[in-house]
Chains A and B, each alone.
Chain A
């Protein structure tokens, strides 16, 4: 697989740097050649703080045609933008906020507003013709798509990410009323994805290759021309590898750090609307314990982390990301004694076996991204957590068992990057670089995890590696559950996640005023209040407003609260709240149930989501011959099924 690595926020940018570092030689940092990163991967840094981005020497402005580049998504919003005014006036959110908004729900709310407010969509379409949400479009079309194989189906992507103005102009020049699906089918000349096994008869069939050579046409124009070390942005050094475009996305973000994961779901859903099967993985770095360098307290970051994990892991298969590779910064800080450059380097080294393109010749291209997506999601309804365990050591005959043991237990040079009991994993994906024997690896993994010794549960991907050393990365899928006592035991997945959820809940309980800010518009306050706390918050607010009928503004707010409460009460099934769901997650962890997070939560689109818990209950009732379904529930089920079919590419949205 060749991922387009998208670093998000400060942490993402720093780790991404390691992935994109030029492997070619330069003279005093200047180069006449083309930028050569490991395995030809490409990437972009998304940040919302221009000041932070400008401090970086490694990245240049993507809008200026630099590579590696950074993109500041809010910059696409024009100074006199109508959507800016609309969102500020009606929702109290600043679309051009200069980054670093520690409120975990900030980006989630902003993207949901664009998803739900029809009036805003109309204004956006007028202003950025054809686009409901220019930020999403900007990130995807200018920041990511030019580096992916999907750019081959789009003419405008060939323009590259040359300038913000150009980007705005391009968005504006798109034919009116043209949907993204139309755009893909309009081009319709080339194959969009390489694996024939994954082709469905849906949207993809409309983009079949007439001539494979067309895939290579104009490649040099797809990526920015100027690199920050004077090289060309395209990675073509004459080798076949250099010509390749990315076939997947790997997001790298800190969970609970700041800008973080707020961009991931919206961008993924935008990509999915264009190409339902396009693989997207996330490498999430869980925030450390205690107060961080920027003085943000653990509770606030834990709430951010838990919201981020929750949102990533509760989007149904086909709608959200295809796997969350979870790394605990606490473990990295302990192992590398707070040496941050070494930590960033280590994260890159750990991911090398996953990304490495040089396969064993007898198996060919075993690890293409679509195949990886398929095996990660096999048998699941929700995206999996993948815990990376890594070991590298000097080559020695019969070292497979040693490598597996060290990696899985994080001992003697091995690194287990998130607390877990390997015996709880339901699948293991082993990526190696070097000379190892598949059967020996599988047997060793079986010995240490108890997983069946077969290729369906323990998958081994062998790659050619560096001389003199063998490396192994084991991704353990969902390594938790079944043990009701696990959440009390140090070193288990349950214990770490339980701790974060607990601290997040405490923060929710204690810092309500920091979460729902007094200056926000009433509607936003109500949406956030019901998202975080539900009916109890409405009751509390109503109680506080008792006797304030003389104040016009408070009276108006009270009226809105009363209406919200009656709307909520009229619901047959109470919509889930973050507080309630986190309490449920704690209970699930206490009982040893999986998955830990179940129901998708939204701030402004609460009625659109079918509760996974309720869905399970309804299925149970149906199986028992009980006809307890209301018309609304039937509608929701049908809608949910249609969504899944659209996501799978079986049918196409008009």
Chain B
């Protein structure tokens, strides 16, 4: 297995485990609530009570971060034939030769992500978690961090011969990407650790 594939599995693994843990967190809260309640508790009612506003600044930054994350993932793995020779940006000729190809590619990814986020009501997920301001600030900081990842990927794809070590650029791109995913999912992981106690 190539390092690139391993790195991709790590990022997606983190996302999938995060989704699973979120589901488990909610299930555990529900189970506890049922055990402590005198009457039947519907999940809908519980989620309504559980939800707390996190602030419009935070919501805007979190949404931006998730859209940028999808762009960063797409750029990191699909801008160059890193994972697959067939499925990558360079194989889409109209995009690859267009002067605004990269922007178009990012816009398409952003649009698809936005539709997915809105239809799955993902911003609501954060409202279930109690987040101290420092954690919110960390999530906010993923926006510029993901910008670094996107820049690294773009550099790798467009500058030839590279002025800097491709290993370094690639590693930097991966670390910023992986770190951002970890930070964006951290409320879920932290809660999972707390709930299990």
B53 contacts across to A, CB distance below 8 A: 36, 40, 237-239, 241-242
* A25-B58, A237-B59 known; A360 vs B194 contact (CB < 8 Å): no
CA separation between A32 and B59, bound complex, in Å? 12
The minimal Cβ–Cβ distance linking A329 to chain B, given in whole angstroms, is 27
B46 contacts across to A, CB distance below 8 A: 361
Q: Is the CB–CB distance between A466 and B49 below 8 Å?
A: no
Candidate in B45, B58, B195 with the most chain A CB atoms within 10 angstroms: B58
Whether, in the assembled complex, B97 has its beta carbon less than 8 Å from a beta carbon of chain A, the answer is no
A237 contacts across to B, CB distance below 8 A: 53-56, 59
**Digit string of B31-42 for contact with A (CB within 8 Å is 1, else 0)?**
011001111111
Whether, in the assembled complex, B92 has its beta carbon less than 8 Å from a beta carbon of chain A, the answer is no
CA separation between A361 and B43, bound complex, in Å? 9
The minimal Cβ–Cβ distance linking A244 to chain B, given in whole angstroms, is 11
Whether, in the assembled complex, B85 has its beta carbon less than 8 Å from a beta carbon of chain A, the answer is no
Whether, in the assembled complex, B60 has its beta carbon less than 8 Å from a beta carbon of chain A, the answer is yes
Whether, in the assembled complex, B167 has its beta carbon less than 8 Å from a beta carbon of chain A, the answer is no
Q: Is the CB–CB distance between A25 and B136 below 8 Å?
A: yes
Whether, in the assembled complex, B129 has its beta carbon less than 8 Å from a beta carbon of chain A, the answer is yes
A361 contacts across to B, CB distance below 8 A: 33, 37, 41-42, 45-46, 48-49
Whether, in the assembled complex, A342 has its beta carbon less than 8 Å from a beta carbon of chain B, the answer is no
B151 contacts across to A, CB distance below 8 A: none
The minimal Cβ–Cβ distance linking A66 to chain B, given in whole angstroms, is 18
B61 contacts across to A, CB distance below 8 A: 25
Which B residue's beta carbon lies closest to that of A237?
B56
Which residue of B49, B55, B127 contacts A24 across the interface (Cβ within 8 Å)?
B55
Whether, in the assembled complex, A362 has its beta carbon less than 8 Å from a beta carbon of chain B, the answer is yes
A238 contacts across to B, CB distance below 8 A: 53, 56, 59
* A33-B55, A361-B41, A395-B197 known; A467 vs B49 contact (CB < 8 Å): no
Which A residue's beta carbon lies closest to that of B32?
A435
CA separation between A436 and B33, bound complex, in Å? 9
B54 contacts across to A, CB distance below 8 A: 23-24, 36, 237
Whether, in the assembled complex, B140 has its beta carbon less than 8 Å from a beta carbon of chain A, the answer is yes
Which residue of A23, A40, A394, A396 contacts B133 across the interface (Cβ within 8 Å)?
A23
Q: Is the CB–CB distance between A358 and B49 below 8 Å?
A: yes
Candidate in B50, B57, B59, B191 with the most chain A CB atoms within 10 angstroms: B57
Interface residues on A, range: 35 or more
Whether, in the assembled complex, B137 has its beta carbon less than 8 Å from a beta carbon of chain A, the answer is yes
The minimal Cβ–Cβ distance linking A37 to chain B, given in whole angstroms, is 10
**Digit string of B163-197 for contact with A (CB within 8 Å is 1, else 0)?**
00000000000000000000000000011011101
A residues 406-458 near B (Cβ < 8 Å) are 435-438
Which residue of A36, A395, A462, A464 contacts B55 across the interface (Cβ within 8 Å)?
A36
A462 contacts across to B, CB distance below 8 A: 36
A26 contacts across to B, CB distance below 8 A: 57
Which B residue's beta carbon lies closest to that of A35?
B55
CA separation between A360 and B39, bound complex, in Å? 11
A298 contacts across to B, CB distance below 8 A: none
B91 contacts across to A, CB distance below 8 A: none
B58 contacts across to A, CB distance below 8 A: 24-25, 33
Q: Is the CB–CB distance between A468 and B55 below 8 Å?
A: no
The minimal Cβ–Cβ distance linking B162 to chain A, given in whole angstroms, is 33
CA separation between A33 and B55, bound complex, in Å? 7
CA separation between A362 and B39, bound complex, in Å? 6
CA separation between A396 and B32, bound complex, in Å? 12
CA separation between A31 and B46, bound complex, in Å? 31
Q: Is the CB–CB distance between A467 and B129 below 8 Å?
A: yes
Q: Is the CB–CB distance between B56 and A24 below 8 Å?
A: yes
The minimal Cβ–Cβ distance linking B22 to chain A, given in whole angstroms, is 13
Whether, in the assembled complex, A191 has its beta carbon less than 8 Å from a beta carbon of chain B, the answer is no
**Digit string of A459-477 for contact with B (CB within 8 Å is 1, else 0)?**
0001011111000000000
The minimal Cβ–Cβ distance linking B7 to chain A, given in whole angstroms, is 29
CA separation between A436 and B61, bound complex, in Å? 35
B137 contacts across to A, CB distance below 8 A: 25
CA separation between A338 and B136, bound complex, in Å? 30
Q: Is the CB–CB distance between A464 and B36 below 8 Å?
A: no
Which A residue's beta carbon lies closest to that of B137?
A25
The minimal Cβ–Cβ distance linking B10 to chain A, given in whole angstroms, is 26
Which residues of B come within 8 Å of A, CB atoms?
A: 32-33, 36-42, 45-46, 48-61, 127, 129-130, 133, 136-137, 140, 190-191, 193-195, 197
Rank and list the top 6 A-B pairs by shortest CB-CB distance, nearest first: A24-B55, A468-B194, A33-B56, A362-B37, A33-B57, A361-B45
Q: List 21 A-B contacts (CB under 8 A).
A: A24-B56, A24-B57, A25-B55, A25-B57, A25-B58, A31-B57, A32-B56, A32-B60, A34-B55, A36-B56, A238-B56, A239-B127, A241-B52, A241-B53, A358-B49, A361-B33, A394-B197, A435-B33, A437-B36, A467-B129, A467-B130
